[in-house]
């Protein structure tokens, strides 16, 4: 069963169990998947579904930040619940040691010697770590490593 089918089955299960919040989050994910399929006239594979889930989680994190500034704790809680539901569709998260090893391997593979080659390193890392870690944090680590190396 691929990821898209699993999401469909989870949506049916949430309907049967009358879990309104979970169902809402899954329906939002299904809508985002269908939107991508319609816009690009494709059928998404598991990697594309993971990237959609990752994008939706980043959006929720941004929303949480804004809601906390505005003092809307009720909306913060709802966004956190959606993140929890969406996170179930991501692959197992990479550990800090795995991320560090991947950064070292990507720097070596790209032959990067300074910050000007950061784009090459991030292109390699994006393929290897997509959906398994926060790429913004990885980017900051790569930047620091390349700056220290030059």
* pLDDT tens sequence across 97-115: 888 888 888 888 887 777 7
pLDDT in the model for residue 83: 93
Is residue 15 predicted with pLDDT exceeding 70?
yes
12: left (phi over 0), alpha (psi -120 to 50) or beta: alpha
Q: Residues 66, 102: one domain?
A: no
Task: Indicate the pLDDT class of residue 69, thresholds 50, 70 and 90.
Answer: very high
Q: Residues 27, 79: one domain?
A: yes
For 80, the token pair is 């956190």
- H or E element that contains 131: none
Domain harbouring 34, CATH code: 1.10.1510.10
Contact 142, 123 (CB under 8 A): no
Burial 22-55 (b: 16+ CB within 10 A, else e): bbebbeebeebbeebeeeeeeebeeebbbebbbe
pLDDT in the model for residue 110: 80
Q: Residues 80, 142: one domain?
A: no
Is residue 150 predicted with pLDDT exceeding 70?
no
* The model's pTM: 0.72
Domain harbouring 137, CATH code: 1.10.10
Averaged pLDDT of the chain: 88
Q: Residues 7, 79: one domain?
A: yes
């Amino acid at each position: 069963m691929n990821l898209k089918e699993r999401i469909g089955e989870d949506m049916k299960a949430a309907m049967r169990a009358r879990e309104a919040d979970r169902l809402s989050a899954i329906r939002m994910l299904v809508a985002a998947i269908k939107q991508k399929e319609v816009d690009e006239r494709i059928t998404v594979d598991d990697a594309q579904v993971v990237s959609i889930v990752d994008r939706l989680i980043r959006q929720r994190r941004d929303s949480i930040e804004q809601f906390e500034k505005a003092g809307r704790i009720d909306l913060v809680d709802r966004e956190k619940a959606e993140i929890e539901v969406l996170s179930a569709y991501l692959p197992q998260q990479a550990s800090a040691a795995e991320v560090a090893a991947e950064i070292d391997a990507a720097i070596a593979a790209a032959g990067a010697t300074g910050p000007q080659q950061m784009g090459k390193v991030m292109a390699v890392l994006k393929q290897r770590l997509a959906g398994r870690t926060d790429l913004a944090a990885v980017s900051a680590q790569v930047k620091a490593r390349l700056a220290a190396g030059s």
